[in-house]
Chain A
């Protein structure tokens, strides 16, 4: 009896797992395939596959909806934010892991507290206010720096990683008369490549996908709008009621870059998250 019960349980488990796969994949496949349908197909059609791939939808998205510009913005902003995030979090992570200094306890406890304390996107108002006062509310640099933020999680990730590196390496270098900068640049940076890779990957993804912060910081300067913001804004535009195929083409444009990167880097995403979870 027990064997039968166990077998039924196993079958049900696999059915549930497969349902999860279908549930997870369906919206993405709908988006990608739907971007190639005509609007009539989308509203009335029964088949999941497009009848006659409408690549013209993408051309419309690029031309009429200006998605080439927005995609470029996203690329520049995400790359720049990624670079600054890696730099700032690794500098702080290294110092916190290796050196004592006045205020270290305060810094650590404030960072830890801020991981759970939050006031949400409302914080963007005082930030925008401050930026207007110095005339920088329309600059791309402001967008990049605000998206970079305090990097609390990444600082802790790097700090944990460096703490596990043997101290002898630094000490050998400092005896030789290296300044801290050189120890950082020539010894620590190469050794922390694995964790910095994780930081870079997650930062790029978060920045590319970001909506609210990017929305608010580009409100006054439409030329700066990122792809994700532009795609979501389609919901409110003329395209919404009658042009689902353009919305799906836009959505595909927003997700295809990340998906392509994901195909090659999914192991790193998942192991990076696991590392952070176990050590965090």
Chain B
């Protein structure tokens, strides 16, 4: 079995406590995700890699209840499609990131709920499992 992270360079992997790899502007300190060629706030090139907090809170969310058209590449069909949640997750006081949620039931999602980054299977191709990042609800400490 082979496990392939997708995207290959936006979360720390393998890791027991994965984190998203963002960018920090050396000029204006804006934090963005993922790494980019220049700062969207001030235009400065040469951003520094910046590991984002693993835990955050759910700022807003929705569910994806229909199979997206191409370029969606999960390998699913209308018959096998499993709906997924998508959230805008606030990571500390740094940035909000858009990410899949492991929960797709509106009754189990709420504004401000605590979530943490996990790496989950995305698609299977023979002996290869593609994994990606998502946030899962957690009990607050």
Do A and B belong to a common assembly?
no
Residues of B within 8 A of A (CB): none
